[in-house]
């Protein structure tokens, strides 16, 4: 219940009237749980904004140039509700930007990282609570920039979320706002990652050795390392593009490029340089968007299989390997960019190597499930769904890692299918599972199981209905407002309409989640300290945890996955329990 | 397994640190993995991210610098870089690194006053560094070496783009000066800078329009190139370019020959005009004096023929003047401007577009790297100011060490930037 | 900050002062060396000159990191923090290099027409008298 966490997290010296209490609790919150929830709520709001943009994209692809319900007439009254091709560009650009930078990364690293790391390692708070507060504050200038960019003449940045120059340099002002927003998000993530690393390295409870940490913490730890190393490069690149736009430098512009308004730029720069710097961050970002989910899924699967996680150390090593390899594969996004071919070959090999640790992880999840006393609760369903969907997304990824294949399917819906299987069908399912799993800890009440299962099954069916057919569209170019102007693509219209109907269904299904979420927050069954009979430290304290997290000093005596341990009668063995 | 249950290193347990520790709840014990305070660990992590940030900037420099066409990167002289000033700045930063180290040592020994004076020394040295940097920036801005909007003054090659840029730049300047002049005249103030205007007009006539004509009429592409190159050379000579200088000299000789030839023609024509005039005078006298009506038409026809011839000669004379003016302009431009070793821009404090191959890329990377480095120096100075307000005894030695770590990192960045930007 | 225990551990008293002064002199000398390299015969082969200057810079950076930043006296954690950062930095630059070479060696027609034009070498003999003037 929200009230309880409010009560618990204000410090004694800030008891005043309602307004100042609100301000001190939510604006100047330094408690990691409040900040985690702030990240959670803002990400969920943006999740729906991004979802709307996706539905608008789907609408255009299913019924091109027709009047979109509600919004069509609001925005494009003079053209009879037809969106413009530029508006379509804005839609897919902002959809990707919001989903990646405002939803998945903040919800994984910001919300769950903040909420779970101190609880799981047995710390009273983050290492630097005020830095933590700043890292959430820095999200707001980014939000402001993006909201403002929607009111620009071009309705928002529209150079694609990859923002390739020279196109992006000659876009309108919304692009500058986009760049600024990304800088702010980057600074926020960087402060967060330094905080997480310090907390995990220095503030583990006695007995919590590195190899007794839950996989969630490992996922967050490796993610934080990746962010710390990759983000500064993106920040530098963003600032350079910003200066290309505002100060007329030419880092990413070729010699004497002439554009339609006649400005010949002062050049000598390289367009490829942007792609290198951008993907040096944004490929690791792909793993930043999935490793924490993998960690949480590992915990949840082990808990509901009532079995130790199969191969804990290989899981840790494979996460580390994915992260390490993730830094040397970025070139596979650039196979057709005109880069050095020999370099492309080396990127192909390293990309294919990533299949190994990913395969180990999938194998270990299945090994964990095998022979377990499965409890098919909602979080478990989402996590099993995650594993299944990750296999599909991962396999299509291996297919396209070979340049000869990629040259054919680059920038087609096959790629779109792949990335949505990894980002939506894997990461978002993992996130939803984690919300169902840790909701009792966050709010002290259980979420409704029946609604949760309906939510899962409908989401699962609709997401496959939306994204699986995209695998067959490897001849349909992405980022084209009306592909059906090409004679050879006309036959794809019915399939696209089917996908759009599924997408709308998927969007409506999420309303069940919203209802369940807010309903359970106030009317859910009370949850005790440990409703799932799980082992990790956060379940030893009250739900929701008070300020300072623990009422007794946690002392860790074993690893996090001692389920069905022969030495105890109960089927779980909390990390702090003396035997 | 239970052996690790009792933490042996309870002394290493740290509380909230900067954030004032726990309030109202039990104080938890931890087992840190590394034997350093949280703050120092975080600073080291932050420095790791900073390494990546500057790696990206230096990587950009390497890509643009070494990907530039062979031999096209500007020399320090081209872009007004003084190597020794960079060396001085390196020395200043090294000194500041030493002073902050001594400051931290003093703080560790609880000598707060000494620590503060060392820190103040560091602060002053940081300011000196920024001052020298500002001087360097200013000397580049003064010469128009900076990225600009909509386009900077630096051009990669002397081509038609460049020519039209010079022309429009010059026209705009002349227009504004003329306006200013008329405004001054209307206020009956004696304009004092009309000599600048004259210079600009001469540049337009004798250099730019001439080059434009040469480029338009030359059939040999090498000649076009030479003409454009010579224009760029006269505006902003990079190094001594014997090829262009020889071209200019030989062209000047040729132009002078043409002038001499035209002058000869002009003399002849003027002679003709004078003769015709005399003849017309004589004939009109005759016409007046003549009583015999029968002879009048003959004289009249002779007169009209003479008038016609005179007119033709006069036309030819004006034509010759038209031909001569640009040539004379060219010669006077050559005589006035060719001796200037520093070029027109420098000598007359003009800001005409310049040709510095890869000059823009140089300016972009230079200002990018030194700019972000200077911002980091500025950040360090702010931290110093905060520290200077505190009492720097033993309890603050950790804080001083953290700030010192950052400052040393800034020094290391400069250690790499100095050779890359000044000496390569 | 009340976390001075760890800091005092590496304070060994006055002997450090001599070390710091020695490092300072070394840094000044090395700066002088790189300045000398830039203006010496080593720059005749620029790759040699560049390598020499970069080596000097690496030496200077090492001196600063080891002594001014106290890593010389720190325990093993120093490797965990510094080596990955160094590795990532070098990796990024190394993987950018192949494209530099690619761009350096291959020109499209358009790029050849617009790329910065190198300084004309003084040794090329072009006699203007051989060209028609206007």
Distance CA B302, CA B308 (A): 10
Q: What is the pLDDT of residues A277-288, one digit of tens each?
A: 999 999 999 999
Same domain, residue pair B314 and B379: no
Closest CA–CA distance from residue C48 to any residue of chain B (Å):
11
pLDDT for residue A11:
46
Number of domains chain B is built from: 2
Q: Give B 107-126 residues with CB within 8 A of chain C.
A: 108-109
Residue B47: CATH number of its domain? 1.20.120.80
Closest to A272 (Cβ–Cβ): which among C91, C92, C99?
A: C99
- Chain A's closest residue to C110, CA to CA, is A255
Residue B336 lies in a domain: yes
Closest to C91 (Cβ–Cβ): which among A256, A327, A343?
A: A327
Closest CA–CA distance from residue B369 to any residue of chain A (Å):
11
- Packing angle, helices A215-246 and A114-121, rounded to 10: 150
Region B292-320 average pLDDT:
84
Chains that touch C (3 or more CB pairs under 8 A): A, B
Which of the residue ranges A197-201, B206-210, B221-225 has the most confident prediction, judged by mean pLDDT?
A197-201
Same domain, residue pair B267 and B411: no
Per cent of chain A over pLDDT 70 is: 96
Closest CA–CA distance from residue A270 to any residue of chain C (Å):
9
Closest CA–CA distance from residue A474 to any residue of chain C (Å):
29
| Phi, psi angle pair for B340, to nearest 5° | -75, 105
Same domain, residue pair B350 and B362: no
B218 to C134: CB separation less than 8 angstroms, yes or no:
yes
Distance CA B214, CA B224 (A): 7
Domain end marker among B355, B382, B408: B355
The chain A residues in contact with chain C (CB within 8 A) are: 225, 229, 233, 254-256, 267-268, 270, 272-273, 276, 280, 327-328, 331, 339-340, 342-343
A248 to B148: CB separation less than 8 angstroms, yes or no:
yes
Residue B92 lies in a domain: yes
Contacts of A533 (CB under 8 A, 6+ apart): A303, A570, A571, A572
| Phi, psi angle pair for A397, to nearest 5° | -65, -40
C6 to B36: CB separation less than 8 angstroms, yes or no:
yes
Q: Which run of H or of E encompasses C14?
A: none
Max CA separation in chain B (angstroms): 150
Q: Which residues of B touch A549 (CB under 8 A)?
A: 25, 28
Q: Which of A36, A234, A59, A225 is nearest to A133 (CA)?
A: A36
The count of residues in chain A is: 579
Rg (CA), chain A: 24
Distance CA C109, CA B182 (A): 49
Q: Which residues of A touch B41 (CB under 8 A)?
A: 197-198, 201-202
Q: Which residues of B touch C104 (CB under 8 A)?
A: 66-67, 69-70
Which sign does the torsion angle of CA B209, B210, B214, B217 carry?
positive
Same domain, residue pair B280 and B322: yes
Q: Is A230 on the interface with B (CB under 8 A)?
A: yes
Contacts of A17 (CB under 8 A, 6+ apart): none
Same domain, residue pair B310 and B333: yes
Region B63-76 average pLDDT:
87
Region B27-39 average pLDDT:
90
Closest to A232 (Cβ–Cβ): which among B6, B56, B358?
A: B56
pLDDT for residue B304:
86
Closest to C98 (Cβ–Cβ): which among A256, A328, A342?
A: A342
Rg (CA), chain C: 25
Query: Environment class of residue A132 by beta-carbon count within 10 Å: exposed (0-12), middle (13-18) or buried (19+)?
Result: buried
Eight-state DSSP code of residue A489: G
Same domain, residue pair B111 and B175: no
Same domain, residue pair B333 and B192: yes
Distance CA A319, CA A309 (A): 14
Reported ipTM exceeds the 0.85 cut: yes
Q: Which residues of B touch A236 (CB under 8 A)?
A: 53, 56-57, 60
Kindly report the average pLDDT of chain B as a whole number.
86
Q: Is the pLDDT of residue B185 over 50?
A: yes
Query: Environment class of residue B309 by beta-carbon count within 10 Å: exposed (0-12), middle (13-18) or buried (19+)?
Result: middle
- β-bridge mates for residue A258, sequence order: A264
Long-range pairs for A398-407: beta carbons < 8 A, 24 or more residues apart: A398/A351, A398/A352, A398/A355, A400/A332, A401/A332, A401/A348, A401/A351, A401/A352, A402/A348, A402/A352, A403/A335, A403/A344, A403/A345, A403/A348, A406/A332, A406/A335, A406/A336, A407/A335, A407/A336
| Phi, psi angle pair for A527, to nearest 5° | -105, 140
A280 to C103: CB separation less than 8 angstroms, yes or no:
no
**Quick one: pLDDT band at residue C28, thresholds 50, 70, 90?**
very high
Q: Which residues of C touch A333 (CB under 8 A)?
A: none
Q: What is the pLDDT of residues B263-297, one digit of tens each?
A: 888 888 888 888 888 888 888 888 888 777 777 78
Phi-psi bin for B207: left (phi > 0), alpha (psi -120 to 50), beta? alpha
The three-point CA angle A521-A223-A377 to 5° equals: 35
Per the listing, tokens 């203007």 go with C128
State the residue range of the domain holding B233: 157-355
Residue B16 lies in a domain: no
pLDDT for residue B389:
93
Q: Which residues of B touch C129 (CB under 8 A)?
A: 250
- Chain C's closest residue to A257, CA to CA, is C114
**Cβ proximity of A286 and A100 under 8 Å:** no
Q: Which of A273, A292, A387 is nearest to A330 (CA)?
A: A273
C98 to A340: CB separation less than 8 angstroms, yes or no:
yes
Q: Which residues of A touch B1 (CB under 8 A)?
A: 557-558
Task: Indicate the Cα dihedral angle A570, A572, A578, B1, nearest 10°.
Answer: 130
Copy the structure tokens of residue B35: 């034997």
C-alpha A41: how far from chain center: 14
A31-250+267-540: CATH topology is: Cytochrome C Oxidase; Chain A (1.20.210)
Q: Give B 253-282 residues with CB within 8 A of chain C.
A: 254
pLDDT for residue B6:
38
Same domain, residue pair B211 and B124: no
Q: Is A565 on the interface with B (CB under 8 A)?
A: no
Euclidean distance between the first and the last CA atom of chain B, given in angstroms as a whole number: 59
pLDDT values of chain A reduced to their tens digit, one per residue, 579 residues: 344 444 444 444 445 678 888 888 778 889 999 999 999 999 999 999 999 999 999 999 999 988 887 777 788 877 777 888 999 999 999 999 999 999 999 999 999 999 999 999 999 999 999 999 999 999 999 999 999 999 998 889 999 999 999 889 888 899 999 999 999 999 999 999 999 999 999 999 999 999 999 999 999 999 999 999 999 999 999 999 999 989 888 899 887 677 655 556 667 788 899 999 999 999 999 999 999 999 999 999 999 999 999 999 999 999 999 999 999 999 999 999 888 888 889 999 999 999 999 999 999 999 999 999 999 999 999 999 999 999 999 999 999 999 999 999 999 999 999 999 999 999 999 999 999 999 999 999 999 999 999 999 999 999 999 999 999 999 999 999 999 999 999 999 999 999 999 999 999 999 999 999 999 999 999 998 999 999 999 999 998 999 889 989 999 999 999 998 888 888 888 998 887
Q: What is the pLDDT of residues B411-422, one digit of tens each?
A: 999 999 999 999
Q: Which residues of C touch A256 (CB under 8 A)?
A: 114
Q: Where are the domains of chain A?
A: 31-250+267-540
| Phi, psi angle pair for B155, to nearest 5° | -120, 145
- Chain B's closest residue to A270, CA to CA, is B64
**Quick one: pLDDT band at residue C45, thresholds 50, 70, 90?**
confident
Distance CA B43, CA C69 (A): 12
Q: Which residues of B touch C86 (CB under 8 A)?
A: 51
Q: Is the pLDDT of residue B8 over 70?
A: no
Same domain, residue pair B276 and B192: yes
Same domain, residue pair B238 and B348: yes
Q: Which residues of C touch A255 (CB under 8 A)?
A: 111, 114-116
Q: Is B77 on the interface with C (CB under 8 A)?
A: no
Q: Is A205 on the interface with B (CB under 8 A)?
A: yes
Instruction: For residue A263, count other CB atoms closer than 10 A to its CB.
Output: 14
Q: Which of A523, A447, A420 is nearest to A104 (CA)?
A: A420
Closest CA–CA distance from residue B329 to any residue of chain A (Å):
32
Residue B22 lies in a domain: no
Q: Which residues of A touch B17 (CB under 8 A)?
A: 127-128
Distance CA C36, CA C18 (A): 27
Per the listing, tokens 């709010």 go with A443
Distance CA A178, CA A97 (A): 9
Domain end marker among B355, B384, B411: B355
| Phi, psi angle pair for A264, to nearest 5° | -95, 120
Same domain, residue pair B56 and B135: yes
Closest to C114 (Cβ–Cβ): which among A233, A256, A343?
A: A256
Residue B418 lies in a domain: yes
Query: Environment class of residue B403 by beta-carbon count within 10 Å: exposed (0-12), middle (13-18) or buried (19+)?
Result: buried
Closest to B91 (Cβ–Cβ): which among C31, C93, C114?
A: C31
Domain end marker among B355, B377, B410: B355
Region B362-375 average pLDDT:
95
**Quick one: pLDDT band at residue C102, thresholds 50, 70, 90?**
confident
Q: What is the pLDDT of residues C51-101, one digit of tens each?
A: 999 999 999 999 999 999 988 888 888 888 888 888 999 999 998 888 888
- β-bridge mates for residue B154, sequence order: B354
Distance CA A44, CA A112 (A): 13
Q: Give B 190-209 residues with CB within 8 A of chain A.
A: none
Same domain, residue pair B363 and B296: no
């Amino acid at each position: 219940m929200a009230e309880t966490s409010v009560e618990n997290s204000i410090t004694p010296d800030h008891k005043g009237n309602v307004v100042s209490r609100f301000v001190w609790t939510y604006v100047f919150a330094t408690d990691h749980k409040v900040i985690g929830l702030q990240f959670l709520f803002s990400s969920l709001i943006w999740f729906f904004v991004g979802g709307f943009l996706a539905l608008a994209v789907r609408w255009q692809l299913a019924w091109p140039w027709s009047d979109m319900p509600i919004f069509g007439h609001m925005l494009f009254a003079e053209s009879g509700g037809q969106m413009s091709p530029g508006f379509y560009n804005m839609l897919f650009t902002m959809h990707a930007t919001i989903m990646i930078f405002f939803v998945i990364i903040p919800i994984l690293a910001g919300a769950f990282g903040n909420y779970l790391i101190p609880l799981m390692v047995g710390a009273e708070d983050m290492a630097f609570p005020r830095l933590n507060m700043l890292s959430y504050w820095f999200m707001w200038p980014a939000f402001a920039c993006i909201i403002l960019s929607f009111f620009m003449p071009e309705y928002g940045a529209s150079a694609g979320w990859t923002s390739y120059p020279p196109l992006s340099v000659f876009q309108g002002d919304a692009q500058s706002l986009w760049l600024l927003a990304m800088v702010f998000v980057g600074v926020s993530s960087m402060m967060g990652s330094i905080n997480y690393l310090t907390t995990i390295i220095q503030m583990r409870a006695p007995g919590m050795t590195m190899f007794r940490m839950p996989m969630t913490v490992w996922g967050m730890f490796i993610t934080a390392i990746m962010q710390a190393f990759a983000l500064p490069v993106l920040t530098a690149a963003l600032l350079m593009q910003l200066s290309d736009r505002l100060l007329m430098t030419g880092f990413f512009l070729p010699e004497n490029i002439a554009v339609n308004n006649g400005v010949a730029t002062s050049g000598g720069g390289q367009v490829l340089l942007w792609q290198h710097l951008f993907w040096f961050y944004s490929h690791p970002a792909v793993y930043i968007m999935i490793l924490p989910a993998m960690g949480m899924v590992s915990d949840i699967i082990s808990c509901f299989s009532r079995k130790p996680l199969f191969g804990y150390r290989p899981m840790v090593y494979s996460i580390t390997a994915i992260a390490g390899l993730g830094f040397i594969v970025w070139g596979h996004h650039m196979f057709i960019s005109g880069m050095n071919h020999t370099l492309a070959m080396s990127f192909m090999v390293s990309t294919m190597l990533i299949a190994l640790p990913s395969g180990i992880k999938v194998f270990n999840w299945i090994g964990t499930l095998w022979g377990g006393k499965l409890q098919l609760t909602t979080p478990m369903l989402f996590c099993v769904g995650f594993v299944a969907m990750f296999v599909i997304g991962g396999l299509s990824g291996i297919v396209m890692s070979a340049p000869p294949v990629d040259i054919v399917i680059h920038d087609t819906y096959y790629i779109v299918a792949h990335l949505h299987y990894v980002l939506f069908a894997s990461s978002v399912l993992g996130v939803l599972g984690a919300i169902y799993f840790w909701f009792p800890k966050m709010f002290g009440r259980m979420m409704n199981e029946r609604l949760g299962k309906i939510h899962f099954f409908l989401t699962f069916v609709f997401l496959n209905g939306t994204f699986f057919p995209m695998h067959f569209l490897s001849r349909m170019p992405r980022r084209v407002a009306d592909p059906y102007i090409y004679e050879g693509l006309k036959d794809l219209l019915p399939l696209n309409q089917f996908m759009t109907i599924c997408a709308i269904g998927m969007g409506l299904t999420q309303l069940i989640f919203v209802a369940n979420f807010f309903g359970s927050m106030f009317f859910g069954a009370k949850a005790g300290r440990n409703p799932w009979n799980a082992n990790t430290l956060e379940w030893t304290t009250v739900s929701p945890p008070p300020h300072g997290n623990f009422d007794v000093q946690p002392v860790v005596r074993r690893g996090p996955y001692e389920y069905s341990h022969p030495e105890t009668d109960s089927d779980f063995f909390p990390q702090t329990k003396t035997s | 397994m239970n052996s690790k249950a009792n933490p042996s290193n309870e002394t290493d347990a740290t509380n909230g640190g900067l954030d004032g520790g726990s309030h109202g709840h039990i104080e938890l014990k931890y087992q840190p993995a590394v034997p350093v305070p949280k703050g120092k660990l975080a600073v080291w992590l932050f420095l790791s991210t900073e390494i990546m940030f500057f790696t990206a900037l230096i990587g950009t420099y390497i890509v643009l610098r070494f990907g530039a066409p062979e031999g096209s990167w500007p020399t320090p002289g081209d872009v007004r870089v003084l190597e020794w000033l960079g060396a001085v700045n390196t020395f200043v930063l090294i000194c500041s690194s030493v002073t902050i180290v001594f400051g931290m040592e003093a703080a560790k020994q609880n000598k707060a006053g000494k620590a503060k004076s060392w820190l103040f020394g560091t602060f002053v040295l940081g300011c000196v560094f920024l001052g020298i940097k500002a001087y360097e920036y200013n000397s580049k801005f003064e010469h128009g070496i900076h990225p600009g909007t909509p386009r900077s003054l630096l051009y990669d090659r002397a081509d038609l783009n460049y020519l039209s840029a010079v022309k429009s730049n010059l026209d705009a300047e002349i227009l504004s000066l003329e306006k200013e002049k008329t405004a001054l005249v209307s206020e009956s103030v004696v304009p004092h800078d009309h000599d600048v205007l004259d210079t600009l007009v001469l540049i337009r006539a004798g250099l730019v329009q001439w080059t434009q004509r040469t480029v338009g009429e030359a059939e040999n592409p090498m000649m076009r190139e030479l003409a454009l190159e010579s224009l760029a050379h006269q505006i902003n000579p990079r190094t001594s370019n014997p090829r262009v200088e020889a071209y200019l000299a030989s062209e000047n000789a040729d132009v002078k020959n043409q002038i001499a030839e035209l002058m000869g023609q002009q003399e002849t024509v003027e002679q003709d005009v004078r003769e015709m005039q005399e003849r017309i005078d004589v004939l009109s006298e005759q016409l007046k004096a003549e009583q015999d009506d029968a002879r009048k038409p003959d004289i009249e026809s002779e007169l009209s023929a003479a008038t016609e011839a005179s007119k033709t000669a006069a036309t030819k004379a004006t034509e010759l003047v038209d031909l001569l003016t640009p040539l004379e302009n060219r010669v006077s431009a050559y005589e006035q401007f060719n001796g200037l070793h520093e070029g027109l821009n420098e000598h007359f404090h003009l800001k005409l577009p310049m040709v510095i191959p890869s000059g823009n890329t140089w300016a972009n990377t230079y200002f990018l790297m030194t700019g972000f480095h200077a911002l980091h120096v500025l950040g360090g100075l702010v931290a110093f100011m905060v520290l200077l307000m505190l009492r720097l005894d033993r309890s603050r030695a950790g804080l001083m060490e953290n700030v010192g770590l950052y400052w040393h990192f800034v020094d290391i960045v400069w250690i790499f930037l100095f050779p890359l930007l000044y000496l390569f | 900050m009340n976390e001075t225990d760890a800091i005092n551990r590496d304070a060994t008293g006055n002997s450090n002062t001599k070390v710091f002064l020695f490092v300072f002199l070394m840094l000044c000398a090395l700066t002088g060396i790189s300045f000398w390299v830039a203006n010496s015969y080593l720059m005749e082969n620029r790759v040699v000159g560049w390598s020499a200057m970069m080596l000097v810079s690496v030496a200077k950076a090492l001196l600063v990191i080891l002594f001014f930043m106290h890593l010389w006296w720190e325990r093993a954690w120093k490797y965990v923090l510094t080596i990955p950062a160094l590795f990532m930095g070098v990796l990024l630059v190394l993987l950018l290099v192949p494209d530099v070479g690619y761009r350096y060696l291959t020109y499209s027609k358009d790029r050849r027409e617009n790329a910065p034009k190198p300084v004309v070498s003084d040794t090329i003999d072009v006699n203007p008298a051989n060209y028609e003037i206007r």
